[in-house]
Structure 1
Amino acid sequence: MVTLPLLTSQDGDMHRPMSIGALLRRLREETGRSQSEQADDLSVRAGRAVTRNEVSRWESEKRLVTPYWQQHCASSFGIPVEVLARAVAVGKARRRLARRAEDSSGGDSVERREFMGALAGLAASSLPNFPSSRSGGRASVDPEIIDHFVSLRDALVSADSLLGPGDLVRSAGEQVGNIAKLYERIESGSRGRLFEIGALFAEFCGWLADDLGDFDAGKGWSSRALEWAHSSGSATIAAYVLMRMSQQAQFLGERARAITLAEASIRYEAQVSSPQVCAAIHQQAAHASALDGHEHAAMNYIDRAQALSEAAAPALDPYSLASYCTPSYVSVQRAAVYGTLGNHERALAEYDHVMSQWPRSFHRERGLHLARRTTVAARAGLPEAALESGVEALRIAQDTRSHRTVRELAASAKIMRSWKAHPSVDEFIRAVRNERELNGHAER
């Protein structure tokens, strides 16, 4: 049996799920086999010949692996066939979307937006009519529909980083409604997994609501996500949702609630199967400790998160739940922890190191972290450094409609008021104020 690789691509987009060709190639390489050797192994398992050229076509996605050969490939690599089926679904979705993108006549940024818009549209409109079976004298939903919802969530999460929440929140909410309608119809053996994907969609809706500045809605979505996570029996998802609720509370300045929720999340650690989810809950525990002024504990938690994020062989996470929790992500959270502890110079140095390597495709998050760097620089008494990141962060916030980023920039602008005599600072403060007023979030 091979060690299952991280099921997301490593090309800079930290949310993008891995397609079937890349997955098959990585699995084969981890076994140390050539394409010819892989073909020989499959031929023996299937009792019928398959050539090296066919293996090559699967890995290049000139052909997608059929269900028959998915079974034998899964056996060959010692992994669940569902992992390959999901990767095939990702490959099919990308083929459809690539065909749509080819029709675009605009420039690169326009093509990207049209491509990602098509991705979001696919999630909103392509729910299939799966065949029903009979169970207990009533129609029940084929469990295959759950795999489709997994693919839809992948599509929406991928689109979020580039488009921001405004184009996606309605689509994601519609999928929660679709899932809720299935609870009474799904067979009992699949009900737990349906609650899992329902919890993940509700958590994602909470994320989108937060980014739009609708914090009451965000809390409501998170509460539903936690209820469904507990109903599913998944400690991994429950721990993750509690971590997200702690993030929400921290952002709103609810210190005690943020600390309590982070501690609740950590209590699940022994039951969490994914090192990346463990990394995510540890980095939030670091933030909670920093809020309490416990520097030693905060550094221990963030160091543990760093080590977990660098794990060479992460356990199977079928939903790529914390695939964003990479070493770079933990590093930028370390910078934020230093800022909370009041060590602004060290925080600024950490931000500068990690942001110089930050993937441009992770666009909206880049804006948020640059805004946090701006606040740190302002508190350190460095107006030029604050302006350097603040101007770029504001541009990204306008592009992605991220209320979180604008809110962070407003905090930095407040600190920078003492430097208003500097024309560039005054211009920046006015631009931030205008953006808040434009989006209905002006200070009262």
Structure 2
Amino acid sequence: MVTVVTSWNGAKASALRVALRLTVDELAARIGGSPRGVAKWEHQPDVIPSMVSQRDLDHILSTANPDQQARFALLLEELGRAGAAAAGATNDARLTSGGLSAAEQRRISDLSVPLNGSRGVLSIPTSETLARLEQNLRSQYSADNLLGPRELMPLMKSYVSMIEQMQEKATGAVLDQLLRVGSGYAEFTGWLHHDAGDLRGAATWATRALEWAQAGMDERMTSFVLMRRAAGALTARNGAYAVRFAQAAQRFESAETGRIRIIAAVTEAHGHAIAGAGGEVDRVFDTAAGLLERYDGEIIDGDPTADRYCEPALYVKIARAKCALELGRAGDAVAAFTDVLSSLPPDYHRDRGQYLGSLARAHILAEQPEASTVAAEEAYSIAIATGSTRTLMDLRGTLPNGLARWSHIPEVERFCAMLAAVEPEIGGN
């Protein structure tokens, strides 16, 4: 049965393009419009296309094959779930300057927050409140992969502020739990800054998360935050720094940290690859293989990698692809990233943009400019739709120079012009 769209917007039009596996230029050609206009839909998901464009989109959808229609229906479901999660979180959890909104007070009944514009005083939370805070954080993980940092960053900062106020009045076991829960919120806020391209802000939030995890004697979260700091060093292209943080993350030898240590090991391998140490890369992947054999599939309650990272076996595959690219192994990198993209779960929308950008770089290394622009355009569209400045910065930082010698090719010229026209918005502190 064909999905019927009553009113098109930018998000739905972008979902149709992804479902049909079309580039921005290809969809523009199908509707007789301009690539810049289609790119605007990607950048402004709430924008309403003209009635002529809506009729064209109706026709494209009605003539799509069953597989394309099924993908479109799934993407619409994901957009609906993500939108509902974001709207519910914003309505129920937004903090005023003086504390929580009235809706949040009803939801968490044991909090007492005056709404008179002054700083609120929160009561000591119950175990039920703490459980709700943990559950809420996991719901933000799910929304993040589709929405990106734009919508979630202000909300997460408000939650951290609320938890910090709770900590001021708590003691004993309750304080320990608040420190552990707070470290999770602070780490996730740091991740949003990382994805928004604000590495300094990400490091600041990670420092707070690490302090709270250590004060709460939470080895697993301590390990996780150290691993995330290593990931930030990878983004900054500091291989040696990444190696040190990743090694520190692996020092807790418990079943609870098993999955984190797998991720930390391959993060270390990536750091060695940035430094050009191929032998160390191979050695660390052997370590990761041993950890994978022991801990693959084992998720212990409260594991911060759950809902944030794909299955460890796939994550190791992704890391191998990244290292092949770093070490200049063009053929291996193209094959590896193609395999990764075919294995990636459909709801990992923003991550797909990251890996498409890496595939574009691998195609450049393999001297395949046309294939590079196809992958890069899809990565660009996903980055615009999700607000992932990290992906946009990666594309802008590597592809124009890499494609420069093929600038006479029309596809390359159009893509580079489109990329240059967008100024990424860097996240705030």
For normalisation by structure 1, the TM-score amounts to 0.69
Q: Write the deviation string for residues 85-118 of structure 1: whole angstroms up to 9, x where unpaired.
A: xxxxxxxxxxxxxxxxxxxxx9657534432323
Q: Deviations over 1:176-208 (max 9, x none)?
A: 101101112224112222111111111111110
- Cα distance in 1, alignment partners of residues 301 and 220 from structure 2: 9
Contact 1:130-1:144 at 8 Å conserved across structures: no
Matching residue of 1:111: 80
**1:386 and 2:355 aligned:** no
Q: Using a 3 Å threshold, how does the CA distance of structure 1 residues 328 and 122 change in structure 2: closer, same or farther?
A: farther
Which residue identity is paired with 1:294?
A: A
1:252 aligns with 2:233: no
| TM-score after normalising by structure 2 | 0.71
Letter in 2 for 1:186: A
* 1:196-275 mapped onto 2 (5 Å cutoff): 196-266=180-250, 268-271=251-254, 273-275=256-258
Q: Of residues 394, 411, 415 in structure 2, which corresponds to 1:428? A: 415
Q: Mind listing any 5+ residue stretches in structure 2 that lack a counterpart?
A: 1-74, 95-103, 112-121
- The change in CA–CA distance for 1:309 and 1:367 in structure 2 (over 3 A counts) is farther
User: Any residues of structure 2 matched to 1:316-395 within 5 Å, and which?
Assistant: 316-323=300-307, 324-326=309-311, 327-395=313-381
Instruction: Please identify, of 333-342 and 108-117, the stretch whose mean Cα deviation from structure 2 is larger.
Output: 108-117
Letter in 1 for 2:406: W
Q: Find the partner of 2:279 among 283, 287, 296.
A: 296
CA drift at 1:273: 1.7
Tell me the secondary structure at the aligned position of residue 346 of structure 2: coil
| Percent of aligned pairs with the same amino acid | 27
Aligned mates of 2:306, 2:232 — CA distance in 1 = 17
Q: Which amino acid aligns with 2:263?
A: A
Is the counterpart of residue 415 in structure 1 residue 402 in structure 2?
yes
* Cα 1:353/1:315, change in 2 over 3 Å: closer
Whole-Å separation in 2 of the counterparts to 1:414 and 1:259: 28
Residues 159 and 123 (structure 1), Cα distance of their counterparts in 2 relative to 1, 3 Å cut: farther
- SS in structure 1 at match of 2:408: coil
Verify the 8 A CA contact 2:79 2:146 in the aligned structure 1: no
Residue 343 of structure 2 aligns to a residue in which SS?
coil
Match of 1:121 in 2: 90
Distance 1:251 1:314 in 2: 28
Match of 1:13 in 2: none
Alignment of 1:159-174 (within 5 A): 159-174=143-158
Secondary structure of the 2:169 match is coil
Q: 3-state DSSP class of the match of 1:148? A: helix
Any conservation in 1 of the 2:243–2:269 contact (CA below 8 Å)?
no
**Residue 154 (1) aligns with residue 138 (2):** yes
Partner of 2:117: none
Q: Retained in 1: the 8 A contact 2:229–2:245?
A: yes
1:351-389 superposed Cα distances (whole Å, 9 cap, x missing partner): 111211212211001101111111122122211221221
Amino acid corresponding to residue 145 of structure 1 in structure 2: T
SS in 2 for 1:270: coil
Q: What SS does the aligned partner of 1:285 have?
A: helix
Matched residues in 2 for 1:273 and 1:214: separation? Answer: 30
The answer on 1:277 being equivalent to 2:260 is: yes
Cα displacement (A) at 1:254: 2.6
- Measured after TM superposition, the shift of residue 305 of structure 1 is 3.3
Report deviation, 1:350: 0.6
For the residues of structure 2 that align with 1:303 and 1:122, how far apart are their CA atoms? 48
> Aligned letter for 1:412?
L
Are the aligned partners of 1:161 and 1:364 in contact in 2 as well (CA < 8 Å)? Answer: yes
Give the secondary-structure state (helix, strand or coil) at the position aligned to 1:184.
Answer: helix
AA aligned to 1:396 is I
Task: For 1:139 and 1:394, locate their aligned partners in 2 and report how far apart those are by CA, in whole Å.
Answer: 46
Residue 120 of structure 1, CA deviation: 3.3
Gaps of 5+ in 1: 1-105, 133-137
Structure-2 separation of matches of 1:362 and 1:110:
12
Cα RMSD (Å) of the superposition? 2.6
Instruction: Report the counterpart of residue 47 of structure 1 in structure 2.
Output: none
Q: Which has the higher contact order (CA 8 A, sep 6+)?
A: 2
Matched-pair contact (CA < 8 Å) for 2:380–2:395: yes
Q: Report the count of equivalent residues.
A: 330
Alignment of 1:184-199 (within 5 A): 184-199=168-183
Please tell me whether the aligned partners of residues 363 and 369 of structure 2 are also in contact (alpha carbons under 8 angstroms).
yes
Instruction: Work out whether residues 203 and 229 of structure 2, in 8 Å CA contact, stay in contact via their aligned partners in 1.
Output: yes
Residue 258 to residue 320, structure 1, CA distance change in 2 (3 Å): closer
SS class of match (1:168): helix
Letter of the aligned partner of 1:343 in structure 2?
R
Cα offset, 1:320, TM superposition: 4.0
Matched residue SS, 2:256: coil
Which letter maps to 2:351? E
